[in-house]
Amino acid sequence: MDDSDSQFKERKAVSAGTSTQRLEIDPVREKQLVRKLDLSIIPPVTLLYLFSFLDRVNIGNARLYGLEEDLDLSSDKYQTAVSLLFVTYLLFEVPSNIILKHYCRPSRWIAFISVCWGIIATLTGIVQSFGGLVACRLLLGLFESGLFPGLAVYLSFFYTKREIGLRIGYLFVSAALAGAFGGLLAYGIGHMDGVAGQAGWRWIFIIEGIPTFILGIACWWWLADGPETAWFLTSEEKKLMEIRRLQQIGVTDEFAWQDVRAGLKDWKMWAFCCALFGADTMLYGYSTFLPTIIKNIDPTYSSALVQVLTIPCYAVGAISYLIMARISDWSQKRGVYTVMFGIISIVGYAMLISDGGPGVHYAGCFLVALGLYVAVGLPIAWLLANNPRFGKRTTATGLQLMFGNCAGIMSSFLYPKEEGPRFIRGHAVSLGMVSFAMIVYAFMWWFFSRENKKRINGERDSRIEDLSEEEIADLGDENPKFLFSI
Name residue 399's amino acid.
L
Alpha-carbon distance values, 107 to 99, 199, 251, 253, 286 (Å): 12, 36, 22, 16, 32
**Exposure string for 420-452, b = 16+ CB within 10 A, e = fewer:** eebbeebbebbbebbebbbebbbebbeebeebe
**CB-CB contact of 170 with 90 (8 Å):** no
Question: Tens digit of pLDDT for each residue in 285-339?
Answer: 998 889 889 999 998 888 778 888 988 999 999 999 999 998 998 888 999 999 9
**CB-CB contact of 135 with 141 (8 Å):** no
The rounded mean pLDDT for the chain is 87
Query: pLDDT band at residue 365, thresholds of 50, 70 and 90?
Result: very high
Question: Tens digit of pLDDT for each residue in 337-348?
Answer: 999 999 999 999
* CA 438 to centroid of chain Cα atoms: 18
**CB-CB contact of 57 with 179 (8 Å):** yes
Alpha-carbon distance values, 304 to 189, 281, 309 (Å): 11, 27, 9
Q: Where are the domains of the chain?
A: 43-226+259-478
pTM: 0.79
The CATH architecture assigned to 43-226+259-478 reads Up-down Bundle (1.20)
CA distance 18 to 20: 6
Which candidate, 260, 268, 274, 253, places its Cα nearest to that of 94?
Answer: 260
**CB-CB contact of 353 with 419 (8 Å):** no
DSSP states of 159-176 as a string?
A: S-TTTHHHHHHHHHHHHH
CA distance 374 to 342: 8
- 81-95, 175-189, 200-214, 311-325: least confidently modelled range: 175-189
